[in-house]
Amino acid sequence: MFKLKSWEHGFIRIPVLWLVVAFGVAAGAGGYTFFYAQGLSYLQKDSAACKNCHIMKEHYDAWSRTTHHAVASCNDCHTPHDLIGKYTVKAINGWNHSAAFTTGNFHEPIQIKGFNKEILQHNCIRCHQSVVGRMGAGTRGENTDCMHCHSDVGHNRRK
């Protein structure tokens, strides 16, 4: 009689075949999703990848009409500039966006918040240091928050 080898842990007995099948299903579903969602495009610098997701098309179109489009890609503003930070943020956002868009649990129009807003703020200051370097935080009681006054910069949706 043929007997499957098993992995035993305490009272749990899982046949190796089930582990192989579960891994195969997960790898197949993950690979298909990565392919369907054009996952490789998100690993590159091309801003057109951002409009792969239909909710970002309006933001991409608005960006393409601004002066920022000639000097800054989506990554220039929305990701850290060190290699590890950039791909860590891309992975976290990829996971979060996939979950939000799959479940429909997101604000429309999409809004930047949390650590993504901090990254954007840092990149605004980095690029515009010659101007904002003279504006110390609290000089007139204000916080240094570029988005407070410049929320449409880069994505001006006025036509």
Domain boundaries, the chain: 1-36, 47-149
Per-residue pLDDT at 76 = 92
Query: Is-contact 86 123, C-beta < 8 A?
Result: no
pTM, full prediction: 0.70
pLDDT of residue 154: 78
CATH of 47-149, one of 3.30.1360.120, 3.40.50.300, 1.10.3820.10, 1.10.443.10: 1.10.3820.10
Q: For residue 26, is pLDDT > 80?
A: yes
> pLDDT tens-digit profile of 114-128?
999 999 999 998 998
> Would you place residue 55 in the very low, low, confident or very high pLDDT band (cuts 50, 70, 90)?
confident
Residue entry with tokens 């110390």: 136
Beta-carbon contacts of residue 122 (< 8 Å; ≥ 6 apart): 80
